[in-house]
């Protein structure tokens, strides 16, 4: 029986992992994701969750243990942030390459140095090309819902890939929001048991991850790329089934007030709700602004992005990056958006902005400035090559 409660996004994700009946939890504490594993540890210790909670000495070992557990057929969950993800990096690549559907909650946090425990997206952007399915939540309810969908997507026999749920550190991890929690019967009807078809089994010995000689390595990487691209059909099907069962709709790309918008802001994560509020307020003043949210980061939804940004009356697209591509002319998300529009005739102007680094607040006037930069680009007809950092002290 579903019920609405006030809960942190971090605790909501832990409750979702427990209700998904995970077999193994392997994680190391790091701010701001620690509440997830603390809560799961309590559930295991109290006998509420029948799972193996593996205490490890580092994040590298945490994901190594999760990888091994997943390949034996155990439903496996882990979580981390920033430097923890950086320490995991070697195993992040190996987990996707070995087709282990581990689910990881990534409480997005800025990478050091200097040491910063607050939110931006530099950690997730550092693992963009590691072969994980990567999805963004912008509030606690979405983080909770996406945890169930992540298991269903990653464990699908046509996918068998790890899934990363991105949710903003502190902004979501430590903030209490209203969340509808499912009952056991709700989840049992949606999430089937995990059955890896190629799991490690003493009665059927196989070799996994051996030396990849030049004669086979390219083909292995090719099939891995085909697998994550092909996962899109399963992702869409799971989103659709979730909406039909529970009434909350999720899409790879979501839009807000773009039907008559001339300038739109492209967002990811919790800034989306704030940007939509700004649009509502500024529309009262006659501004035709809108928001396009990229929820599915990998596999990147090129067609969906192109379709959304060339619909209606959109003339300028402002892409908000929460991380810096050092030395590059464009933001990381901005580069992807430009690529999605490259072959579109008479495409809208695309400009990039960066804001909210290291947890710095993005104020109402900062969002307004982003949209105004789009209006300025329309007036001049110029598409700046360099990204504008919003909110930086001169």
Cα–Cα nearest to 146, from 312, 20, 4: 20
Shared domain for 234 and 292, answered yes or no, is: no
Flag whether 394 is in a domain: no
> Residue 174's CB: how many other CB atoms inside 10 A?
15
Cα–Cα distance measured from residue 201 to residue 291, given in angstroms and rounded to the nearest whole number: 49
Which has the minimum average pLDDT: 133-142, 154-163, 193-202, 219-228? Answer: 193-202
Asked if residue 160 is part of any domain, the answer here is yes
Secondary structure element (H or E) that encloses residue 318, with its range: strand 316-321
d(CA 172, CA 137): 9
CA angle 25, 169, 166 (to 5 degrees): 60
Considering the domain architecture, whether residues 228 and 298 belong to the same structural domain is answered as: no
Q: At what angle do helices 59-71 and 82-97 cross, to 10 degrees?
A: 30
Last residue of a domain, one of 226, 246, 266: 246
Q: What pLDDT, on the 0 to 100 scale, is given for residue 342? A: 94
Residues 341 and 200 grouped into a single domain: no
Residues 200 and 258 in one domain: no
Residues 219 and 261 in one domain: no
198 lies in the same domain as 77? yes
**How far, in Å, CA of 117 to CA of 108, rounded?**
9
pTM of this structure:
0.97
In this structure, the answer to whether residues 219 and 363 fall within a common structural domain is no
Let me know whether 57 and 205 are in one domain: yes
Q: Are residues 272 and 210 in the same domain?
A: no
In a domain, 47, yes or no: yes
> Is 90 exceeded by the pLDDT of residue 209?
no
Same domain, 271 and 294: yes
221, part of any domain: yes
Indicate if 258 and 236 belong to the same structural domain: no
Distance CA 57, CA 30 (A): 12
Please identify, among 246, 279, 313, the residue that sits at the C-terminal boundary of a domain.
246
The three-class DSSP label of residue 21 is coil
Q: 21-69: per-residue pLDDT in tens?
A: 999 999 999 999 999 999 999 999 999 999 999 999 999 999 999 999 9
Residue 369 is predicted with a pLDDT of 98
**Number of folded domains that form the chain:** 2
**Domain coverage including residue 369:** 253-389
Q: Are residues 154 and 271 in the same domain?
A: no
Residue-wise pLDDT for 302-338, tens only, equals 999 999 999 889 999 999 999 999 998 899 999 999 9
Residues 6+ apart with CB under 8 A from 302: 339, 340
CATH of the domain at 305: 3.40.50.920
- State the CATH number of the domain containing residue 157: 3.40.50.970
Radius of gyration of the chain (CA): 21
Contact by Cβ (8 Å): 40, 25: yes
Final residue before a domain boundary, out of 246, 268, 293 = 246
Inside any domain, residue 25:
yes
């Amino acid at each position: 029986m579903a019920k609405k409660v006030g809960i942190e996004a971090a605790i909501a994700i832990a409750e979702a992992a427990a209700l998904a009946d995970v077999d193994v939890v392997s994680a190391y504490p790091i701010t701001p994701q620690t509440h997830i594993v603390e809560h799961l540890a309590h559930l295991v210790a109290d006998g509420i969750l029948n799972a193996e909670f593996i205490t490890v000495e580092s994040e590298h070992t945490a994901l190594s243990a999760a990888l091994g557990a997943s390949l034996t057929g155990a439903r496996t969950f882990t979580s981390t942030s920033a430097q923890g993800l950086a320490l995991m990096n070697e195993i992040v690549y190996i987990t996707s390459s070995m087709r282990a559907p581990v689910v990881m909650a990534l409480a997005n946090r800025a990478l050091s140095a200097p040491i910063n425990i607050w939110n931006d997206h530099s950690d997730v952007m550092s693992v963009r090309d590691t072969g994980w399915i990567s999805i963004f939540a912008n509030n606690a309810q979405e983080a909770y819902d996406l945890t169930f969908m992540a298991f269903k997507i990653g464990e699908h026999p046509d996918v068998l890939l790890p899934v990363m749920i991105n949710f903003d550190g502190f902004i979501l991890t430590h903030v209490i929001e209203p969340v509808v929690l499912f009952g056991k019967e709700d989840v049992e009807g949606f999430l089937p048991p995990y059955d890896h078809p190629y799991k490690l089994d003493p009665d059927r010995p196989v070799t996994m991850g051996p030396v990849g000689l030049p004669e086979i390595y390219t083909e292995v990487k090719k099939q891995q790329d085909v697998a994550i691209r092909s996962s899109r059909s399963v992702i869409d099907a799971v989103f659709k089934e979730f909406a039909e069962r529970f009434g909350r709709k999720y899409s790879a790309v979501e839009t807000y007030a773009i039907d008559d918008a001339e300038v739109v802001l492209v967002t990811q994560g919790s800034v989306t709700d704030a940007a939509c509020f700004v649009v509502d307020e500024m529309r009262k003043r006659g501004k035709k602004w809108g928001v396009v949210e990229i929820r599915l980061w990998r596999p990147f939804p090129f067609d969906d992005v192109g379709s959304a940004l060339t619909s209606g009356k959109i003339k300028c697209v402002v892409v908000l990056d929460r991380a810096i591509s050092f030395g590059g002319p464009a933001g990381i998300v901005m580069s992807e958006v430009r690529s999605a529009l490259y072959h579109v005739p008479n495409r809208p102007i695309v400009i990039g902005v960066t804001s909210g680094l290291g947890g710095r607040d993005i104020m109402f006037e900062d969002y307004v400035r982003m949209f105004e930069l789009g209006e300025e680009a329309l007036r001049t007809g110029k598409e700046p090559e360099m990204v504008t950092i919003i909110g930086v002290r001169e």
